[in-house]
Amino acid sequence: MTDESAGRLARLRQCLPEAGIDALLVCQPENRRYLSGFSGSSGWLLVSAGTAALATDSRYWDQAEHESPEWQLVKYGQGGRSFAESGLPAFLALGPVQRLGFEADYVTYAEAHAWMERLPGLTWVPVGGLVARLRAIKDAVELATLRRAVAIADEALAAALGQVRPGQSERELAWLIDSEMRAHGADDVAFDTVVAAGPNAAQPHHHPGDRLIGAGEPVVIDMGACAGGYRSDLTRTVCLGEPLDGERFWSVYDTVLRAQTAAEAALGPGAAFGLVDAAARDLIGAAGYGDYFGHGLGHGVGLAVHEDPFLRQNDQRPLVAGNLVTIEPGIYIPGWGGVRIEDLAWITEDGAEVLTTAPKRPIIRLS
Ligand code: ZN
Ligand code: ZN
């Protein structure tokens, strides 16, 4: 087991007594991968003071032995039997468990009910966020992988913007961005790419469609690359040529950019989530656009594109060194369009480092 994997397992084991459990059943896919290294799409972990076991079915036995050699492999599912029928009893035969925690924010009611009916002698304890809290603090290996995912998105955006022309559809530009991410080394896209042109840019998560991108209208592009299981998240707003409605465009763009700069300056260990959010939100409010910034300022990114911590209004919990968060203020005006600018920032021991390097000059010159 690598030092990082051993450290993650040790930190989880330290949390078990505090959570009132002697073992945790892990089923959330990113949590499973974070702890064990196993990247298959189906499997379960059992972690107790003395056990680190991975249960999966025959589709993944080879992969599990390769990716998680230090984890005790429990083979289940022979003849199509379910995890509750064959995997769970095999887990519980590995050592004594009285109070078994399970991930209540991921397991369905029907699944939990079936387990409890089958094993009524156990005390089932719903727990939330145990592994998520560990994942919020990235180690050196994770940071290096995340830097790669960020660089791929930055390079792919530059390449795509070198080819974009008025008259292309949102869908065509989204496809161009996705293929450039693949060409620059992404394993996959981190999420469905957003390309929102003109009035569509007033919808923060617009799905790219057949609308043709016109010269001089705001275009919001939100994209991310997946590399080694880790994701990046990048938004830029551009205009093909000079903006048609220059006065409003520059007023909105400058406000969003100043809000982002203020929030990034407020980042550091000990800074409350709500204080960082307020650094951007107050500035947008003072510029008269407060009603047009509806979402939170940012979120953690890692194996999942949205994970702890979430930078929301009035949340007094503090950032800590090792957090990796987006800073993404936006202004969305119905009928006109919108502007969002999003960076990824790493919280260091004494401040923060913005990992994103994509330029923030919005005008794409048309030759
Ligand atoms: Zn984004
Ligand atoms: Zn985001």
Q: What is the pLDDT of residues 190-226, one digit of tens each?
A: 999 999 999 999 999 899 999 999 999 999 999 999 9
d(CA 223, ligand 2 centre) in Å? 9
Q: How confident is the model at residue 5 (pLDDT cuts 50, 70, 90)?
A: confident
CA of 288 to the centre of ligand 1 (A): 24
Continuous segment of H or E residues that includes residue 247: helix 246-265
Distance (angstroms) between ligand 1 centre and the Cα of 280 equals 17
Nearest to 305 by CA among 358, 363, 234, 232: 232
108 Cα–ligand 2 center, Å: 27
Work out the mean pLDDT of the chain and round it to a whole number. Answer: 96
As a whole number, mean pLDDT of residues 326-348 equals 98
Contact 319, 276 (CB under 8 A): yes
Distance (Å) from CA 235 to ligand 1 centroid:
5
Question: Which of 87-91, 177-181, 231-235, 257-261 is predicted with the least confidence, judged by mean pLDDT?
Answer: 87-91
* Confidence at 22, pLDDT banded by 50, 70, 90: very high
CB-proximal residues (5 Å) to ion ligand 2 = 233, 326
DSSP state of 17: T
- pLDDT reported for residue 300: 98
Q: How far is the CA of 142 from the centre of ligand 1 (A)?
A: 19
How do strand 352-354 and strand 343-347 relate by DSSP bridges?
A: antiparallel
The predicted pLDDT at position 50 comes to 94
Centroid of ligand 1 to alpha carbon of 307 (angstroms): 13
> In this structure, are residues 169 and 209 in contact, taking their beta carbons and an 8 Å threshold?
yes
Ligand 1 centroid–CA 113 distance in Å is 36
* 90 CA → ligand 1 middle, Å: 42
Backbone phi and psi for residue 36, each to the nearest 5 degrees, phi listed first = -105, -20
Interhelix angle for 140-161 vs 3-15, to 10°?
Answer: 110
Q: Mind listing the pLDDT tens digit for each residue in 116-168? A: 998 888 999 999 999 999 999 999 999 999 999 999 999 999 999 999 999 99
Model pLDDT, residue 194: 97
| pLDDT higher than threshold 80 for residue 1 | no
Q: What is the pLDDT of residue 2?
A: 79
Average pLDDT, integer, range 263-272 = 98
**pLDDT tier for residue 347 given thresholds of 50, 70 and 90:** very high
Residues 6 or more apart whose Cβ sits within 8 Å of residue 208: 169, 170, 171, 173, 174, 193, 194, 195, 196
Please, which residues have CB less than 5 A from ligand 1, an ion? 222, 233, 235, 342
